[in-house]
Chain A
Amino acid sequence: DADVTQTPRNRITKTGKRIMLECSQTKGHDRMYWYRQDPGLGLRLIYYSFDVKDINKGEISDGYSVSRQAQAKFSLSLESAIPNQTALYFCATGLANEQFFGPGTRLTVL
């Protein structure tokens, strides 16, 4: 079984819809992260959490929100999706010297 799972793996939605991307991990790590990846722009940090009561904004948090429901679960929400949020989204969990990435969610906003 995969250590970091993301659901859904692919999603097509329309402008204005609310979308939730979910991430679960079985590695027992406290640290969890959400990134988005766009062609030519690399990975950019959206939000991160160092434990259940700790939520921090990354470099591109506008238009996104997160919920850390448990140590193992970290969800990313788009309250009102817009086309420029079309991207590949990765969840990651981390130790001090390494991060482990989930398989990614490909989101398309029409």
Chain B
Amino acid sequence: GQNIDQPTEMTATEGAIVQINCTYQTSGFNGLFWYQQHAGEAPTFLSYNVLDGLEEKGRFSSFLSRSKGYSYLLLKELQMKDSASYLCAVREYGNNRLAFGKGNQVVVIP
């Protein structure tokens, strides 16, 4: 099984940079996903990492270290619309299921 840990909430200022961390324990790692979810809406896919290193996609970047069981999502040039919950999910070998963390609520203030 998996154990996924994320901090619960953070506040940041518009235009700033925020880093959201995720640590995990799994018996057979096969990929880490980040999703964004606005209140009452469906999660939407942001990024996927399976190898160590940084994946950059516009204002969003995601980093993975498999040896440390650690990932972070970096949000740059924060906008008010980035206020949302950010979900980390880990896939395990053999079953292609995702196990989600509880999410990190980011609040962007002017």
Interface residues of A (CB under 8 A from B): 31, 35, 40-45, 48, 50, 56, 58-59, 88, 90, 94, 96-104
Contacts and interface: CB of A to CB of B under 8 A. Distances in A.
Interface in B24-50: 31, 33, 40-45, 48, 50
A98 B45 contact: yes
B87 A43 contact: yes
Interface stretch (B12-20, B60-68, B72-80, B98-106): B98-106
B62 to A, nearest CB: 13
A25 to B, nearest CB: 13
Given A35-B100, A44-B100, A90-B43, 18 more contacts: A31-B96, A40-B102, A42-B100, A42-B101, A42-B102, A45-B98, A50-B96, A88-B40, A97-B31, A98-B45, A98-B48, A99-B33, A99-B98, A100-B45, A101-B44, A103-B41, A103-B42, A104-B42
A90 B97 contact: no
Contacts, number: 46
Contacts of A45: 97-99
B88 to A, nearest CB: 9
Contacts of B31: 97
Closest 5 CB pairs of A and B: A101-B42, A42-B102, A43-B100, A42-B100, A97-B48
Contacts of B43: 43, 90, 101
A101 B44 CA distance: 7
Contact of B45 (A44, A90, A99): A99
| Interface hub of B31, B43, B44, B99 (most chain A Cβ within 10 A) | B43
A104 B102 contact: no
B56 to A, nearest CB: 17
Contact of A41 (B44, B89, B95, B102): B102
Nearest to A43: B100
A104 B41 contact: yes
A98 B43 CA distance: 11
B103 A42 contact: yes
Q: Which of B33, B40, B100 has the most CB of A within 10 A?
A: B100
